Amino acid sequence: MTAMTSRSPSDRSEASLLSAMMSMAPPGIRLGCRTIRVGDEDLLLPEEQHAVTTRNLEARRASGAARHLARDLMAELGHPVVAIGRGRFGQPIWPAGVVGSLAHDRVMAVAAVVSGPANLSLGIDVEPAEPLPDDAVPLVMTAGDELGTASRHLAGRILFAAKEAIYKAVYPLDGIILNHDDVVVSLAASCGRTRAGPVVRLYLCISPRIVVLAIPSGR
Ligand SMILES: CC(C)(COP(=O)(O)OP(=O)(O)OC[C@H]1O[C@@H](n2cnc3c(N)ncnc32)[C@H](O)[C@@H]1OP(=O)(O)O)[C@@H](O)C(=O)NCCC(=O)NCCS
């Protein structure tokens, strides 16, 4: 007789997104996702709680989910379970030998982690697979952006996620705060670049949520 297991909607959402993220993941990079749950704020380690005390419950909950996830990925890579700090400009501070990135939307937290030196960098973003509000599209999309075959319905949201992921990947390298029009993205070529920064390779999935991973690949 086959045992029946019942899975909660959040389990199914995680499994479905994880499968899409695994399909896009480049070799060596660990990606994960976790539905943000009530109580995830308690997953923050004491040092991390100190860094986010000024933030509201929703933000602490999302940070707890993302940091818990990142710690699991670090453990899979053989790294000890330690706090992931938070820099002055919001950037995560990784322990020596690990580089990664965190993101969350209202429902899901995602993380990307790789073993490597501090001059390596990653950026990740997650967004619902829904169109951006019409008035936000012109703020995000600039003349140089190339949409390729991306659905016109979602192109603005995909570009938004790509630019946020690129910013998170490049900021730890150069410390420059960027606007959307400082970043040009080609969805056709799966890459982007900042005004003065490196070319950034993009890996993405669109369904069930939009997730973009950005990896600087050289100047
Ligand atoms: C970093 C930023 C893009 C994150 O956007 P968000 O929609 O608030 O949140 P996300 O869930 O996508 O990402 C949050 C995570 O990004 C990471 N992050 C924040 N600032 C970062 C930075 N400067 N560099 C790298 N990662 C950063 C953090 O890990 C954060 O999670 P935490 O607060 O739980 O630690 C935004 O807060 C910001 O600083 N924007 C200014 C620049 C910008 O947006 N330019 C337009 C795009 S080029």
3 is a domain residue: no
User: Phi first, then psi: what are they for 7, rounded to 5°?
Assistant: -115, 140
Helix (H, G, I), strand (E, B) or coil at 204: strand
User: Which of ligand 1's atoms lies nearest the C-alpha of 55?
Assistant: 33
Provide the β-strand partners of residue 204.
212
* 205-218 confidence digits (pLDDT tens): 999 999 999 999 86
47 is a domain residue: yes
214 is a domain residue: yes
- Whether 66 lines ligand 1, by a CB cut-off of 6 Å, is yes
pLDDT score of 195: 87
Q: Which two tokens stand for residue 198?
A: 């490196």
Residue 219 has pLDDT above 70, yes or no: no
Residue of 207, 188, 191, 206 whose CA lies nearest to 147: 188
- Whether 71 lines ligand 1, by a CB cut-off of 6 Å, is no
Ligand 1 center from residue 178 Cα (angstroms) = 11
Query: Are 110 and 69 in contact, with CB atoms under 8 Å apart?
Result: yes
- Whether 175 lines ligand 1, by a CB cut-off of 6 Å, is no
173 is a domain residue: yes
Q: Please report, for the chain, how many H helices and E strands are present, in that order.
A: 5, 10
* Domain coverage including residue 95: 9-218
* 6-56 confidence digits (pLDDT tens): 567 778 889 999 999 999 999 999 999 999 999 999 999 999 998 776 689
Ligand 1 center from residue 149 Cα (angstroms) = 27
125 is a domain residue: yes
- Cα-Cα-Cα-Cα torsion 64, 215, 162, 191, nearest 10 degrees, comes to -170
- Classify residue 152 by its DSSP letter: T
**Total domain count, the chain:** 1
161 is a domain residue: yes
2 is a domain residue: no
Residue 1 has pLDDT above 70, yes or no: no
